[in-house]
Chain A
Amino acid sequence: MTACASYNFAYLDEQSKRTIRRAILKAIAIPGYQVPFPSREMPMPYGWGTGGVQVTASILGPDDILKVIDQGADDTTNAVSIRQFFARTTGIRTTTSTQKATIIQTRHRIPEAPLAERQIIVYQVPIPEPLRFLEPRESETRQMHALEDYGLMHVKLYEDIARHGHIATAYAYPVMVEARYVMDPSPTPKFDNPKMHLSPALQLFGAGREQRIYALPPYTRVVSLDFEDHPFARTRFDAPCALCGALDAYLDEVVVDDAGGRMFVCSDTDYCAGRRARAAGPPGAAT
């Protein structure tokens, strides 16, 4: 059975898209709240972005321009695979430019360039429940969210400080949304947390395997959890990007030789390339 089936625009049938859009609308109406949705089996494995893909597939239109990144880069294999999937099932334009994209699907990073109104960023989420590793039972965590019973979350942060002197969460750092729901921002490094606060873009989060969608409408207040006397500290890198000189970007560590030599370069490949292009000036001009 290898017949070439003809698929609907963006693979999902319209009924499925409608169901997912309803979940998205509900999520937007209740910022930070995890809306259950019936996840469809997609042609890529659970855990490899099926939630993000279903969200993107449900909102894509023929005029959209799609950017797909993983670890901040357009060219990592899974980003390539997902971008090809959408190109094949929709024929829409794709781009590596953050500014030109109308929809950005991302795994584990928020682009460095600030997003604008009318842009949508879709996050791939493995474990949507911020309390999951403190309380494995879904029946319990659902109650905790309903009753705003978040003491356990702060206990974890307290324990970190007692043990390490710092809050020891480096990524998937929990946030409080509109002072009501505690939310997992997906495994983005905590460096990216401030970008979510009052962002002009619409932020959608899809967890396919766990069957949850949540959302942050534009200009939502998103505050990282902390203590007054141990405030949220954003990671800073001492040295700039070795390629483009950026001082305010998240850097990847690249091992360059057997002796342990290392260099640090922008994780956001589009941002880095853009900075380098601007520094080189118009073609033919002197640097």
Chain B
Amino acid sequence: MRTREIPLLSAEGLTKFYGDRLGCSGVSLDVYAGEVLGVVGESGSGKSTLLSLLSTQLRPTHGCLQYCMRDGVVRDLFALGEADRRFLLRTDWGFVHQDPRLGLRMGVSAGGNVGERLMAVGWRNYGRIRAEAVDWLARVEIESERVDDLPTTYSGGMRQRLQIAKNMVTAPRLLFMDEPTGGLDVSVQARLLDLIRGLAADHGLAVVIVTHDLAVARLLSHRLIVMRHGRVIETGLTDQVLDDPREPYTQLLVSANLRG
């Protein structure tokens, strides 16, 4: 458990209504540098809404969200201008989509995909951009010969690893992941999870990962929050929540997962 005092990301009372349908309600949480926070729950629990709110892709109906910038100053994220928010999303943060086609440009080569963030922050040397891309492809275990290939020629697992490389290239401090292993074979999943765990540890990344798969949560997260009907019903250290759940719903969830 990290002992840093200021959380990297801090949410207070986040609430989102779609018309009169509840997305999520009164969610407060902190994410500290270097820790992986898992958000689990069944579909419809509000975890995807929460992720969209935390990554500022949705505006909350109520509540606030604060982030500790690289300069140490804590800012209210929804008071930031659009340009600043976009800049954050491109440099300090990453977002790994469940469907890699949403997070990649499928008509652009792997190298172009990985290099895009660098070019967006002003890198202007083709050779260096390409070298950096090749380097990151290697780190996510994609052979460098594939650097000029389009992601359409990649397998699902490779696309997901490419998506991760694309996000990591600007050394983000906070990564959001939405069911990153969804739709992948079990063995491919395992490889991906190992990669994510290694990257998070090596780079001191903070990660917020949404998943319905408790095995994924156990493998990756330090802490868990459990959601149901848009509310947080239990939080705690991963092993504690999964091995000794207090709430009846969590108990149900855990036992269902063990059986299933």
Contact = CB atoms under 8 A, between A and B. Distances in A.
Touch test A–B (CB under 8 Å): yes
Interface of A: 143, 146-152, 154-155, 158-159, 161-163, 227-230
B125 A149 contact: no
A227 B120 contact: no
A158 B120 contact: no
B116 interface: yes
Contacts of A152: 116
9 contacts: A146-B83, A155-B108, A155-B112, A155-B115, A158-B111, A159-B112, A227-B126, A228-B124, A229-B126
Contact of B120 (A143, A151, A161, A162): A151
Contacts of B112: 155, 158-159, 162
B129 interface: yes
**Which secondary structure characterizes the binding site on chain A?**
helix
Contacts of B148: 162-163
A155 B123 CA distance: 11
A162 B116 CA distance: 14
Nearest to B147: A162
Given A155-B105, A227-B126, A229-B127, A162 B111 contact: yes
Contacts of A229: 125-127
Given A152-B116, A155-B116, A147 B125 contact: no
Most B Cβ at <10 Å: residue of A143, A146, A148, A155: A155
B172 to A, nearest CB: 16
Given A149-B120, A151-B119, A229-B127, A159 B86 contact: no
Interface string B95-136: 000000000010011011001110110001111011000000
Contacts of A228: 124-126
Contacts of A161: 126
